[in-house]
Every structure is written in structure tokens, then in C-alpha cells.
Chains A and B, each alone.
Chain A
């Protein structure tokens, strides 16, 4: 069994990371999960949360918003709608994201409201996790 796998984190505007990782912790919409080399093929959507990559240079953390992760035996790629390294995360940016998520709830149609409200709640709890 291989010790590492290819990991890519891409956002629409740029590629944030591409490295050999031994472990990736993903905030999946149905619960957190950890992908390691030779994981069974899986595609999951993301909820707003912290993505942790364990690579050769230690752990790296990124704040990701919605998107999805594609896990296969050879590697993991995460396509995040928005991804920011935790170190670059500021209070204002967080406020902005929360405000966006909250306003989306208000204008959403009834059947979408629950899902969006959950997203907004995820954002708010995210704020406590990363302490900004």
C-alpha cells in the first residue's frame, strides 16, 4: 500500500494545493471523513468547514465553502467553491461569508430554505472553530 496519494485542492480562480498527502480530513456534507491512500472511490459534497491536509511538510488547514471532493484509490481532489488557507482567514472575510449565506436563506424558495439555513449555521459554527 502506498503511503501517500496525490492531493489537489482547486478553487475556480486558482489551484491552491497540489501535493503528495498521507491523509486528508474533509468536511463532508453528511459528516467529516478522512481520506487515506487506497480509499474506496467516493464523491461527496462539502459543507463549509476546515479541510486538513497532512503532507510531507506537516499539516495544512484550509477553510472551504461548498463544493465537492472526489476520492479514488490514486488520489483525492477537492473542488471548493471558495477555499482560503486558515492563516489568511480574517474576521471580515468570515463576516462577509456569513452575511452572504444568511441573505441566501432569506431569498430562497421554501424547499431550498432548510438546506441553506444549515449552510448558514455551518458558517457560524466555523467561526468558533477557527477563532476569528
Chain B
């Protein structure tokens, strides 16, 4: 049986842990609100962009001169996986679930005889992917210095990806991130960005039979917009990821706080019992001593 002092120390240390997890939960809650606002604010742009792109893509995909960002290189041998995770841990299964999705995807591609290249955004993903695909890593984007994700960050990542595409380093690019659904639910998602896969279904609501004039021509606009489309998709993914990370951290820390509370209760009961046992023991000693006289 552990002695009283040990138990007391143990209770103190769990209490301190609980204070920390509680604080982290509150910080995450505040950050989550901001991240959600940012994601909300970014939505109109992304929606408009997707709508216009879908319309353009539908009309241009038939033509032979359509940009390669839209039609692809005609091959599908080399895949670039952009794995976006958080810079920090302690957010439950958030990082692992994205890495896991990317890993299964990569293994499937390799089994099919394709070449896989991995670009990571966020430290945690890099650490996890390096374990299995150390030789496939082609780059890493560090966002640990970034306090607030801005469009320029997404732009820089998109620029990197586009440069690699121009240099014909890969044929297909897919981004992996976590879609924010609610504080307790985030879904790891894979989304193909190059060649651009805009859903045709979206055209119907937006196109609505309007014939737009294009200035400069349709192709010119497409060439201008496709890189922006890539940046926008990455930006949306980063924002969703940001909100998901904070949400995941919040619920993980909430659990941790509750666990610490349970543990403190259990330890306190144990502490009181042993204290009582010590008192009883002392009493027995005194009484039996008195009786012996």
C-alpha cells in the first residue's frame, strides 16, 4: 500500500495536469471560434470560384488545347500526395487519421505500380509519413511560424505544387486534410486538385443557361484561373484543417480533463481510506497498550 505522502503527491500532480488540460481546452475553444470564422469568411470566394470553374471546365474540357492543369498530362504514373496536418500534437486522433488515410492511399497506389511522391504541410504529418515513406518525401512546408493562416500561405504552397507540375515531376496531385464537421467529428478527406476535378453537378445551378462572354477568350481565362483554383482549394483545405485541429484538440482536452477528475476522485478515496486505516491502527495500539497495563 502506497504511503500517505506518495498519494498526496500523486493527487497534486494529477491536479496540475488537469489545470493544464483545462487551460488548453479553453485556448482551443477560443481558437476554434476564430478558425471557424475564418473558414466561414473564406467560403463565399471558394464557392464562387468553384461555380465559375465548373462552368468553364465543362465547356473547355472537350477542346484539345485545354490547359494541362485541367486535362492532366495524359498519364497517371506519378502521384503527388500533399499531406496537410497540424504543427502540434495533443489533439486526439487528428494527425494520425489524416496520415493513416494518406498511407493507405499511398500503399494502394504503390500496389498498382505507380510512383508516389509526398509533400507534407505541418510537422506532425511529416514525422508520421517519414516512418513509412522516408525515401518518397519530396518536400515540406513549415507553418509553425504562421500565427494565422492567410491566403498567401496557401498561395505559396500552390506555387510550389504548380512549379513541380510544370517541371513534370508528377501527373496527379491529391491533397489530404480533415474536413470540419463539428467539434466532435472531423472527417479525413482526400481531394484531387490536379488535374482539376470540378463536379459537373455544380454547373447546373450556376450556369443556368447563361451564355457568358469571355474576355480574354475562354482559354485565356482558364489559364489564368486554374492556378488560382488550385490555390483556393488549398486555402479552403488549410482553413478546414485549422478548424478541425482546434475542434479535435478541444474534445481531446475535454476528455483528458474529465479523466484527470475521475483519477483525482479515486486517489482521494484511496488517500482517505489509508489515512483512516492509519488512525484506526494508532487507536488500536493505544487501546491495547492501555489494556495491557
Q: Which residues of A contact B (CB under 8 A)?
A: 8, 10-15, 28-30, 40-45, 66-68, 70, 72, 77, 79, 81-82, 109
Contacts and interface: CB of A to CB of B under 8 A. Distances in A.
A45 B221 contact: yes
Contacts, number: 78
A131 to B, nearest CB: 26
B33 interface: no
Interface of B: 38, 41-42, 44-46, 48-49, 52, 150-151, 154, 166, 210-216, 220-221, 224-225, 228, 231-232, 235
B172 to A, nearest CB: 22
Contacts of B210: 41, 72
A13 B42 contact: yes
Contacts of B151: 11-13, 81-82
Contacts of A72: 210, 212
Given A43-B214, A45-B216, 10 more contacts: A10-B48, A12-B151, A29-B215, A29-B216, A42-B214, A43-B52, A68-B225, A70-B52, A79-B45, A81-B228
A82 B152 CA distance: 10
Contacts of A67: 228
Nearest to A39: B213
Contact of B212 (A15, A30, A42): A42
Nearest to B150: A13
Contacts of B231: 12
A68 to B, nearest CB: 6
14 contacts: A10-B44, A12-B231, A13-B45, A30-B216, A41-B210, A41-B211, A42-B212, A43-B212, A43-B221, A44-B216, A66-B228, A70-B52, A70-B212, A79-B45
